[in-house]
């Protein structure tokens, strides 16, 4: 068997293992789904009135639910980072990982399987959030092609953040460590264009908000789904995703391949 | 042919030297036991030979492949069962075996067949659909070994396979290990129990502080250590003296009022001593039979008792 088919076969096996874990740990899987929906309800119905009043409606896609939904979607992806990191960190503490290391399998398949599992879980959550948003009055104007592009971008940022989550899970050593590292991506959502426009922020934070990975992603989603101006956001978003995927994958692989077993 | 060969294997963690030049030769189809107390370097040796960590110096060949240069060829030939169950606690027993079958790239039907066969062989059929959290220690260890066997390894590393098991599970495990060797597999076993090495191994190497202090067949090693003895304790000095006159090969301790009589540990030798005491109507307060254990081995081979990391058993 050549390396590629070995890599695919073992990764699919590890994905099946990860899916079985999701089924067995159903409460964790379910809370991963519920939290973003609650955030959507919270931001729209509790904070939405006040925040929405401060936004220039038309320029940002009409009602606040329209402005908010792409932000919540990216926030959903960001919170998936912590779930991935925690899952991976807990799994690495299991002795079966030691067994995998003594087997003639594609070494990174353990990581790839979990990353694929996280991608599937996050995409299901994103669809659920989109569904609830539509019920709450989210009215996208996108063409089918724009929808496909939007889902493609969501998948891309998910893969990127998932791989960072895998790396955090490995580097973090303990669940607490893994969680605090991945908190970064959850906090990034608050200093992005997810909830309010960066225009309303002080100069330094605004500069950070405009160029960090999440803002261009959110702005691209808004452009695709609601027809707001795109500018250079798609380019920035794609660039960020590719950088994060490469950093996350190679970092994870390097840490996994050099464990401190004793 | 040698299945495992090492020359001058060395490993240190920081400034702590764990292995200090280990030479091993394990012939195909034999059981080799690495005997030693906690912290002697047994697990580190297994970790190096099973490609988990790399040695700092020396050479190691497993199944004819260099562990450092061709780790994947080594991995394809070995199976490892450590002292902590390497099983997936979220999957059922059967799912664990099927996971192994998939990772060994067996056909789906072949994987199912092997899983069913191993569940039957290791008496896990009733527990197949349950998660290992409901298993006993012995069952977990059997599932662990069954998972190791899915890939039909030619060499199996068993790192303290019976540590923490009750006597019955230990005997079950011993029988399983004997059956494996009967099937042509080579076994590299680590243990801190002399009895276990004696029961199972063709050859035993004694590891102490990262060095091999002795190597040979169980009989060769036992010849090097002092035999067992019967220990008699008396109520007073006159009884002690009376008994000592009769048992001239005994060692006398007048402060403790004890006699130590060398024995091969057989019931017959015990009976001879008791009959003698009975005939002379000498009253004995306490009698105990002492058989050689790891402490004796270590004392005999190293000159100091094995007490550094707590008592063994």
- Contact state of B51 with A101 under an 8 Å Cβ cutoff: yes
Rounded to an integer, what is the distance from CA A229 to the centroid of its chain? 24
pLDDT at A32 over 80: no
**Per-residue pLDDT, B277:** 87
- Please report the pLDDT score of residue A59 as a whole number: 54
Q: What is the pLDDT of residues B172-205, one digit of tens each?
A: 889 999 999 988 899 999 998 888 888 899 999 9
Q: Residues of B with CB below 8 A from A25's CB?
A: 90
Q: Taking a C-beta distance cutoff of 8 angstroms, is the pair A189, A74 a contact?
A: yes
C-alpha A191 chain-centroid distance: 16
Residue spans of alpha helices (H) in B50-136 = 71-77, 93-103, 108-121
Burial of B133 by CB count in 10 Å (0-12 exposed, 13-18 middle, 19+ buried)? exposed
Among A216-225, B142-151, B267-276, B294-303, the least confident range? B294-303
Separation in Å, CA of B87 to nearest CA in chain A: 5
Q: Does residue B309 have a pLDDT over 50?
A: no
* Contacting A residues, span 123-182, partner chain B, CB-CB under 8 Å: none
Q: Cβ of B90 and A103 within 8 Å?
A: no
Task: Please report how many Cα atoms fall inside a 13 Å half-sphere around the Cα of residue A29, on the Cβ side.
Answer: 16
Percentage, residues of chain B above pLDDT 70: 93
Q: Is residue A58 part of a domain?
A: yes
Alpha carbons B275 and B286: distance in angstroms, whole number: 15
Residue A134 to residue A140: CA distance in whole angstroms: 9
Is the residue at A114 inside a domain? yes
Beta-carbon count within 10 A of B39 CB = 16
Decide if A57 is inside a domain. yes
Higher confidence at residue B260 or residue A52?
B260
Q: Which two tokens stand for residue B284?
A: 């004995």
Q: How many angstroms separate the CA of residue A89 from the nearest CA in chain B?
A: 15
At residue B303, does pLDDT exceed 70?
Answer: no
- What class is the B227-291 domain? alpha beta
- Report the pLDDT value the prediction gives residue B74, as an integer from 0 to 100: 96
Instruction: Judge whether A69 lies within some domain.
Output: yes
Q: Do B82 and A95 touch (CB under 8 A)?
A: yes
The size of the A-B interface in CB pairs under 8 A is 61
Total domains in chain A come to 1
Q: Determine the number of helices (DSSP H) and then strands (DSSP E) in chain B.
A: 11, 14
Question: How do residues B121-165 score in pLDDT, each as one tens digit?
Answer: 999 999 999 999 999 988 999 999 999 999 999 999 999 998 888
Give the SS3 label for residue B81. Answer: strand
Domain boundaries, given as residue ranges, for chain B: 2-223, 227-291
Res B3 pLDDT > 50 = yes
Among B52, B85, B99, whose Cβ lies nearest the Cβ of A17? B99
B108 DSSP β-pair partners: none
Question: Tokens 């072949």 appear where?
Answer: B110
Query: Would residue A262 count as lying in a domain?
Result: no
Q: Is B160 helix (H, G, I), strand (E, B) or coil?
A: coil
> B2-223 in CATH: which number?
3.40.50.300
Question: Do the domain assignments include residue A177?
Answer: yes
Could you tell me which of A83, A78, A84, A86 has the C-alpha nearest to residue A176?
A86
Tell me: ipTM over 0.90.
no
CB neighbours of residue A145 within 10 Å: 9
Residue A127 sits in which domain range? 3-257
Report the C-alpha gap between A165 and A88 in whole angstroms.
Answer: 8
Which of the four pLDDT bands, split at 50, 70 and 90, describes residue B261? confident
């Amino acid at each position: 068997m050549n390396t590629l088919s070995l890599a695919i076969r073992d990764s699919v096996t590890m994905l099946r293992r990860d899916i079985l874990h999701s089924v067995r740990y159903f409460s964790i899987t379910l809370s991963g789904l519920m939290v973003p929906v609650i955030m959507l309800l919270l931001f729209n119905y509790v904070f939405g009135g006040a925040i929405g009043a401060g936004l220039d409606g038309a320029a940002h896609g009409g009602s606040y639910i329209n402005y908010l939904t792409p932000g919540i979607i990216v926030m959903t992806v960001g919170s998936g980072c912590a779930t991935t990191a925690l899952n991976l960190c807990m799994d690495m503490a299991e002795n079966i990982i030691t067994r995998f290391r003594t087997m003639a399998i594609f070494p990174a398949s353990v990581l790839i399987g979990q990353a694929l599992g996280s991608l599937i879980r996050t995409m299901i959550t994103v669809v659920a959030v989109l569904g609830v948003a539509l019920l709450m009055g989210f009215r996208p104007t996108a063409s089918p092609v724009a929808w496909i592009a939007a889902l493609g971008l969501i998948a891309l940022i998910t893969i990127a953040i998932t791989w960072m989550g895998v790396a955090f899970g490995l580097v973090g050593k303990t669940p607490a460590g893994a969680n605090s590292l991945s908190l970064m991506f959850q906090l990034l959502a608050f200093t992005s264009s997810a909830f309010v426009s960066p225009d309303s922020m002080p100069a330094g934070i605004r500069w950070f908000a405009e160029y960090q990975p999440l803002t261009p992603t959110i702005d691209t989603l808004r452009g695709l789904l609601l027809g707001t101006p795109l500018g250079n956001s798609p380019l920035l978003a794609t660039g960020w995703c590719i950088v994060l995927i490469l950093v996350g994958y190679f970092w994870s692989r390097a840490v996994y391949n050099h464990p401190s077993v004793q | 042919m040698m299945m495992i060969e090492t020359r001058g294997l060395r490993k240190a963690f920081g400034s702590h030297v764990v292995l200090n030049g280990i030479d091993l030769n394990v012939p195909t189809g034999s059981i080799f036991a690495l005997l030693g107390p906690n912290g002697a370097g047994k697990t580190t040796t297994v970790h190096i030979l099973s490609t988990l960590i790399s040695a700092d110096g020396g050479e190691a060949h497993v199944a004819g492949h260099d562990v450092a240069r061709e780790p994947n060829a080594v991995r394809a030939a070995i199976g490892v069962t450590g002292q902590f169950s390497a099983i997936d606690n979220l999957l059922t027993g059967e799912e664990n075996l099927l996971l192994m079958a998939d990772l060994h790239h067996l056909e789906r039907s072949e994987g199912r067949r092997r899983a069913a066969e191993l569940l039957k062989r290791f008496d896990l059929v009733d527990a197949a659909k349950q998660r290992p959290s409901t298993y006993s220690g012995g069952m977990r260890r059997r599932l662990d070994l069954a998972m190791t066997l899915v890939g039909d390894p030619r060499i199996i590393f068993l790192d303290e396979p019976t540590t923490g098991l009750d006597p019955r599970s230990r005997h079950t495990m011993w029988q399983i290990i004997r059956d494996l060797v009967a099937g042509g597999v080579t076994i590299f076993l680590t243990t801190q129990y002399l009895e276990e090495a004696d029961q199972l191994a063709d050859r035993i190497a004694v590891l102490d502080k990262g060095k091999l202090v002795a190597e040979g067949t169980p009989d060769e090693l036992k010849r090097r250590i002092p035999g067992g003895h019967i220990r008699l304790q008396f109520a007073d000095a006159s009884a002690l003296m009376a008994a000592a006159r009769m048992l001239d090969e005994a060692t006398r301790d007048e402060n403790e009022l004890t006699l130590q009589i060398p024995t091969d540990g057989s019931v017959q030798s015990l009976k001879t001593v008791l009959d003698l005491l009975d005939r002379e109507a000498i009253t004995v307060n306490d009698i105990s039979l002492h058989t050689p254990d790891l402490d004796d081995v270590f004392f005999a081979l190293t000159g100091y008792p094995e007490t550094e990391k707590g008592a063994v058993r």
